[in-house]
Structure 1
Amino acid sequence: MYSSVLVPTDGSARSLAAARRGIDIASTYGAELHALSVIDASDLGLWTTADIPVERVQASLRDAAESAVDEIASLASDEDVSCRTAVRIGVPHREILDAIDEDDIDLVVMATHGRTGLEHAILGSTTERVVRLSRVPVMTVRE
């Protein structure tokens, strides 16, 4: 039923809970897991060289993203699930949707962050956008 499962992560506990669900599904179906972390391009513009050198901020964000996908790969390895990792820079929901097409993903398993009210209206929801725009099923997981 599923041959490739995408698990987007931001390194949070919620994302890790979703990753565990994705690993379980991949194990059940003998699917390959894809762990993806997207560095939000808008985060790169928050700092100026007067604050902190841009290269240092970029390296810090990349290190955090790589740690997030490496943690999922380690959990997948413990369950004998094949896992590919990727880090991208861009608009998170767009990068996730691009990964779905590029990696021929059958299922996306991702966390919800539970934002409501004004915070949700202002920030929007990456998960909500992926659910609305994805051509494949998206399983949402609450921590």
Structure 2
Amino acid sequence: MHVIVATDGSRQSLAAAKELKRFADPTRIDDITVVAVVSPLAAVSFSNDLGGPLREKAKVEGSPLNFRQEAQDATTVVMEEFKGWGPKVHRRIRSGSSASEITKLAAELPADLIVLAAGGRGLSETILLGSTATRVQHSAPCPVLVARPRRVKKA
């Protein structure tokens, strides 16, 4: 089984990766491909909230990060989540529309499952699912797991 885990650099996308680990049997997954898509036409091509080695290096050296480096760094953080879990982990950085590139990659591999966050970079809480998740669900060549953030129970 080959699983794609999509990250947009948000904390929600890291939580989606953790959700896969929470219920999936790693002995039934052969490969995980962590993908980030840099969108050259977006107002912000890629924004990494996950930190990671490149971001820390840039802070120390004072050097700016570019969007491809941000995507590389975000995928590194998500890939670390699967370290020692079992399946082989691969990275893909793509350029274009997020939904389109994720579904194209799923067809190319071919993937058996796509995992992504609900509304990682949505405009507001009223758009709960997120446009990328919605588009991927409607056009993916395989099942899609859309992970919602867990609600914190109020005491």
- Band the TM-score falls in, shorter-chain normalisation: 0.7 to 0.9
Structure 1 residue 41, shift from structure 2 partner: 2.0
What's 1:77 paired with? 83
CA distance in 2, matches of 1:39, 1:111: 16
What SS does structure 2 have at the residue aligned with 1:105?
coil
Structure 1 residue 74, shift from structure 2 partner: 1.4
Alpha carbons of structure 1 residues 23 and 32: separation in structure 2 relative to 1, 3 Å: farther
CA distance in 2, matches of 1:26, 1:85: 21
Counterpart pick for 1:66 among 72, 75, 89: 72
Where do 5+ consecutive residues of structure 2 fail to align? Answer: 46-62, 150-155
Aligned residue-pair number: 128
> Do 1:23 and 1:33's aligned partners in 2 also have CA atoms closer than 8 Å?
no
CA distance in 2, matches of 1:98, 1:44: 23
Bigger helix share: 1
What's 1:37 paired with? 36
What's 2:49 paired with? none
Matched, 1:103 2:109: yes
AA matched with 1:137: P
What SS does structure 2 have at the residue aligned with 1:37?
strand
**What fraction of aligned residue pairs are identical, expressed as a percent?**
27
Alpha carbons of structure 1 residues 26 and 37: separation in structure 2 relative to 1, 3 Å: farther
CA distance in 1, matches of 2:83, 2:96: 28
Kindly provide the CA deviation profile for residues 67-99 of structure 1, in whole angstroms up to 9, marking residues without a partner as x: 111112211113233101010110111100110
> Do 1:5 and 1:22's aligned partners in 2 also have CA atoms closer than 8 Å?
no
Counterpart pick for 1:131 among 137, 147, 151: 137
Alpha carbons of structure 1 residues 45 and 7: separation in structure 2 relative to 1, 3 Å: closer
Alpha carbons of structure 1 residues 26 and 103: separation in structure 2 relative to 1, 3 Å: farther
> Do 1:40 and 1:91's aligned partners in 2 also have CA atoms closer than 8 Å?
yes
AA matched with 1:125: S
TM-score, normalising length: structure 2: 0.71
CA distance in 1, matches of 2:43, 2:69: 14
What SS does structure 2 have at the residue aligned with 1:11?
coil
Q: CA RMSD in A?
A: 2.7
What's 2:98 paired with? 92
